Amino acid sequence: IDHEGMTYLCELIKNNTSITKLNLSGNDIDHEGMTYLCELIKNNTSITKLNLSYNEIGDSKGIRYLCEAIKINNKITDLDLGNNGIGERIRHFSEAMKNNSSITKLSLIGNNINDLDPAILGKNNQVEYLQVLSNPLTSLPMIKDNTIEALKYLKELRSGSEIMNRVRVLLVGGAGAGKTKLLNTFKNTLPDAKNDEKSTVAIDVDSLLEKIPTTTTTTTTT
């Protein structure tokens, strides 16, 4: 849809109060088309789901228009911005989300985003579903393909909680191998951790092997 077509579309539905879902995915909408669409978004009171994926709104002007619109609109709850080449301009969108209290579901799939600001969660931390697949989140490599973990991480970060990575370690070794010493060394690097004075339990592998029944094969030569 070129900017002229977008003009006609927005004019057609600007006074409509029955349309609740608007899917404009894959229409090559650029920043010119966004000028008309965003004016519609600012004043619309019925659309709650808006799909703008696979368009060309990721440039600086397109994002700026969208940011101004979501600061004002308080009806849209589900917004899909997937595959729009947003990149580093996501920081402007995150800033705008500080003033938005309605969007609870947000898709940012495939936008070449390297980092996310916790402000993306909205004015009241209301975003409950955040899709970040296929983005090179270099600062958050452990969660880049995990929607639940990404949301959890950003909420903890915004609340001021200290983010700690967790790992489970299985120490295997015979008696006297130094498992307890190694374990206490790990604990000494953590706050409020106490050393375990007791030795860790060792497994006598040799004795276990002795208990394994063996079979004897007899070969008869004629």
Q: What is the pLDDT of residues 132-144, one digit of tens each?
A: 989 988 766 556 5
pLDDT of 153:
80
Query: What is Dmax (Cα atoms) for the chain?
Result: 101
Look over the chain and give the mean of its residue pLDDT values, rounded to a whole number.
Answer: 84
Higher pLDDT, 32 or 140: 32
Q: What is the pLDDT of residues 154-166, one digit of tens each?
A: 888 888 765 555 5
Is residue 22 within 8 Å of residue 55, measured between CB atoms? no
pLDDT of 203:
61
pLDDT of 16:
94
pLDDT of 78:
98
What does pTM read for this prediction?
Answer: 0.72
pLDDT of 39:
96
